Structure 1
Amino acid sequence: MKQKFKDHIKNRLPFLQKSKLLIACSGGLDSIVLAYLCHVNNFEIGIAHCNFGLRGVESDEDENFVSTIAEKFQVPFFVTNFETEKYGQDNKLSTQMAARELRYQWFETLLSSHKYDYVLTAHHKDDNLETFLINLSRGTGIDGLTGIPEINRNYVRPLLPFSRNQIMEFATKNEIEWREDSSNSDTKYLRNKLRHNVIPELISINPSFLNNFENTLDYLKHAQDFIRSQMYRIRKEVFEYGELDTIKIAIHKLQKYDNPKKYLYFLLKEYGFTAWDDIIRMLNAQSGKQIFSSTHRLVKNREYLLLCPIIEDVPDRVYHIPEEENRIMIPSGMIHLKEVSELCDTDLKTIFVDKEKLKYPLIVRKWKEGDYFYPLGMKGKKKLSKYFKDEKLSLLAKERVWLLCSGEEIVWVINYRADNRFKINPETKQLLKVTIT
């Protein structure tokens, strides 16, 4: 195994040979063997151990054992103690998930503060199978069936090609000591139940089960790569990227494909959506229909689905601009105010007004129902709700509209239309240019 490990690093993970590596070491068989292999191959390593405080004296003995290994290898040793159960209760997490979250938070701190390049974890072939079966039992797409990634950002798993039996044989042959975690035999945990009750049965049926499973993972990864390349092409066709992180999904382009539901699944799953039947019904729903994930929002707007992040907003937020101020930042940009001597070209982001008609401080606020203004270039007044409907503004666009006001009167529907009451005329003496960037 020592030579196979060395060949695997050389062929698949050569960057590890010249990197500064932090080994996550519990004291169990797998992580001790990983530390040993890295040490005998002269990698630059440090050892990190988490004491989760879940097994009393046994946890402390694990900590002391790993400390002894680090001292024997003459490498840096890092240890931390967690109140895992309390953290899980406070954050409504299972003990296993709490431990996972705590250790990865700590690893990130060590990577940053001690300038390590990668964290190595000792996941192996059997762990891959257990994860596959867990995801399969919970219901998952292809992403959940492609196994544990060998490289995930700064986390690398060099033992994935090796089975637990291979690791055990290597440790026994080389007289490597390790600690047994008594909780690993507790079958109240799903992973342990699979490890002790299900997987041995599968292997007894077919002794080549683990190797065949590894081949299946390769096929699934190839299929995943093909799906990703196809979805990249489709995304380029149906996605239109707009302002303020909004993506427009063209419904008519999407409906050219058979079974749009499966395409919406691959297009939207990374944004946290799961209500696929509701989403497919949106294609034929009225404008304004909305569906939320934990992070994003999907809105039907005429011939499009609009996708955008959920942004915490305060609808009654108001900004004041005293006369001596010449700029102010609002969520949609920076407003600049400048007295000028002559007109130049205007656009949706620039207006010119008669400064003497303004009442200070100017006010910037969100629009609300009942607001009206006198659109520049039109006769009479108009409710903003009617103006937005005529302009075919989406629900998202309407929510993001800000107004520049003089007292109760609207001076500018920012980014859309100025108000007729403040326009310049031949008698204007003070010309104010207002721009948003």
Structure 2
Amino acid sequence: MVEAFIRHIRNKSILDPTKTYLLASSGGIDSMCLGNLLTKAEIPFEIAHVNFQLRGEESDQDEEFLRNWAKTLEIPFHVHHADTYAFASERNISTQMAAREIRYAWFEKLRSERKLAGIITAHHEDDQIETIFLNLLRGTGIEGIYGMADRRGWLIRPMLPFSRKEIEEYILENQIEWREDSSNEKTDYKRNKLRHISLPALYEVGDDAKSNLLNSFERLKDTGKAFTALFDNWKSEKIKESDDLQILSSQDLLRHAGASSLLYFWLRPYGFNSDQAQDILETCQFSESGKLFESSTHLLNIDRDQLILAPIPSEFESISISASDIEFTIPEGRYELLKLDGREALDKSRQNAMLDLERLSFPLEIRTWQEGDRFIPLGMKNAKKVSDFLIDLKVPVVKKRGIKVLISEDQIAWVIGYRIADWVKSTAATRKLLYLKKQ
């Protein structure tokens, strides 16, 4: 096993004998096996152990066992005492989840402080299978098949090619001492149920059941990588970006094989889950225009034959502009406030506004538009609801929420970024202009 271990870490280039690492150790059979292999491979390491204080005297004995082992190896030993039950209660999470958060946060803090090359854990082949099945039970889809990587960031798992049986045989052959965690035998947790009940029953189907599972997972992982490449091509070709909007033709989605997966992979980074993606797809299939879907950060609108995605506008508190101000900033950008001669050539860009200064009353106010707001758009004679005005311009629903208006004495002077009001336009009689120019 030593030769296979050295060959693996060299082929994958995951451990460097010129650098020192942090070995996360519980004192159990897996981490003690790994510690022995690292020593024989001449990979320098320090030992890190978390005493979760969940098993009373047994936890303290684990700590003492590892402390003595570190002394024997003459390497640094680091221990962290955690009140795991209190941590779990404070965050309203399971004890298992609390232990995971505690140990990885502390490992990374320690690695950074000690300037170590990585955090080494003893996850092995059987852990990998358990992880994959747990992922599938959570409904993670094809990415759940990927399981754990040999290296991800600072986290290194050099034992993934080795089985629990190989580890047990190595421990016996080399007479390596280790500590048994009694909680590993309980079947209260999903992982332990898989380990002690479900997977052994599955392996009994045939002598080659386990190896066939691993081979299938590898092929599915490769299929997943192929899909990812195809998805990236589809996304770059079909999804158009305009300002902070992403726009996808519903036909470019519906006529493509695997539409459900394409949609989910597009929307997942923006907080949408697989159930929402399925609802969105069905809405497109039934041509239900106008429906709005929301994640914690984004909005998606089915608008005629398009899917339009945009970030949820941040809460905006109205701002006041005095006659002496020379600029203001809103989420859409920074604007200069310039006072010009009335004969200045007009800027017709909708991003900017030129208003008759003498018709305005300071202080001006900028706020988000509200239902019921009305104004007379430039070039029109009758007042129009801002909501109807935006509909006429076919402004996407996802964009409407964040639109702001400039107010003078309770009258809308400008729907910012769209159109000024007719009453404040420049005329032949205008002597001074207020120029709001986006930078």
TM-score (norm 2): 0.90
Q: Judge conservation of contact 2:300–2:309 (CA < 8 Å) in 1.
A: yes
Matches within 5 A, 1:270-349: 270=269, 271-275=271-275, 276-283=277-284, 284-310=286-312, 313-314=314-315, 317-341=317-341, 342-343=344-345, 345-349=347-351
Q: Secondary structure at the match of 2:435?
A: strand
Question: Where does 1:171-182 land on structure 2 (aligned, <5 Å)?
Answer: 171-182=171-182
Corresponding residue number in structure 2 for 1:394: 396
Structure 1 residues 272 and 427 mapped into 2: Cα distance closer, same or farther (>3 Å)? closer
Letter in 2 for 1:260: A
| Equivalences for residues 27-426 of structure 1 within 5 A | 27-244=27-244, 246-258=245-257, 260-270=259-269, 271-275=271-275, 276-283=277-284, 284-310=286-312, 313-314=314-315, 317-341=317-341, 342-343=344-345, 345-426=347-428
Alpha-carbon distance, 1:258 to partner = 4.4
Flag the 1:104–1:327 CA change in 2: closer, same or farther, 3 A.
farther
Retained in 2: the 8 A contact 1:19–1:118?
Answer: no
1:148 is displaced (CA, Å) by 1.9
Deviation at 1:391, TM superposition (A): 0.1
Moved more, 204-213 or 180-189: 204-213
Amino acid at match of 1:355: L
Q: Partners in 1 of 2:220 and 2:258 — Cα distance? A: 22
- Per-residue CA shift, 1:288-328, capped at 9, x if unaligned? 312334554322122211223445x436x211122222222
Aligned-residue Cα RMSD (Å) equals: 2.4
Q: Distance in 1 between matches of 2:258 and 2:221?
A: 23
- 1:15 Cα deviation after fit: 5.5
2:436 to 425, 434, 437: 434
Assess if the C-alpha contact under 8 Å between 1:273 and 1:292 holds in 2: no
Over the matched positions of the two proteins, sequence identity in percent amounts to 37
Q: Measure the CA separation in 1 of the matches of 2:187 and 2:395.
A: 57
Q: 1:286 to 1:208 in 2, by over 3 A?
A: closer
* Residues 122 and 159, structure 1, Cα contact 8 Å, conserved in 2: yes
| Deviations 1:53-92 (CA, angstroms, capped at 9, x unpaired) | 2111211222222233333333333322222222223322
Q: Distance in 2 between matches of 1:416 and 1:20?
A: 60
* Alpha-carbon offset, residue 285 of structure 1: 4.5
Q: Measure, in 1, the Cα distance between the counterparts of 2:63 and 2:11.
A: 34
TM-score (norm 1): 0.91
Change (3 A) 1:345 1:318: closer
Q: Deviations over 1:342-362 (max 9, x none)?
A: 446441221222323222222
Given residue 149 of structure 1, which amino acid in structure 2 is its aligned partner?
A: A
Number of aligned positions between the proteins: 434
Question: Taking structure 1 as reference, are residues 160 and 62 closer, same or farther at Cα in structure 2, changes over 3 Å only?
Answer: same
> Which amino acid letter does the alignment assign opposite residue 254 of structure 1?
L
Q: Distance in 1 between matches of 2:24 and 2:297?
A: 31
Is the partner of 1:32 in helix, strand or coil?
helix
The 3-state SS of whatever aligns with 1:105 is helix
- Report SS of the residue matched to 1:70: helix
Stretches of structure 1 that go unaligned for 5 or more consecutive residues are none
Structure 2 residues without counterparts, runs of 5 or longer:
none
- Please state how far the C-alpha of 1:20 moved relative to its aligned partner: 4.4
Contact 1:326 1:336 in 2 (8 A): yes
State whether residues 27 and 62 of structure 2, in contact with CA within 8 Å, keep that contact through their aligned partners in structure 1: yes
Q: 1:127 Cα shift?
A: 0.5
| Residues 51, 81 of structure 1: 8 Å contact kept | yes
For 1:308, what is the secondary structure of its paired residue? strand
Q: Is the 8 A contact 2:310 2:399 kept in 1?
A: no
Native 8 Å contact 1:21 1:119 kept in 2: yes
Distance 1:108 1:358 in 2: 58
Name the SS of the counterpart of 1:411 in structure 2: strand
Cα shift readout 1:255-302 (whole Å, capped 9, x = no counterpart): 222463343244334543222442222213443312334554322122
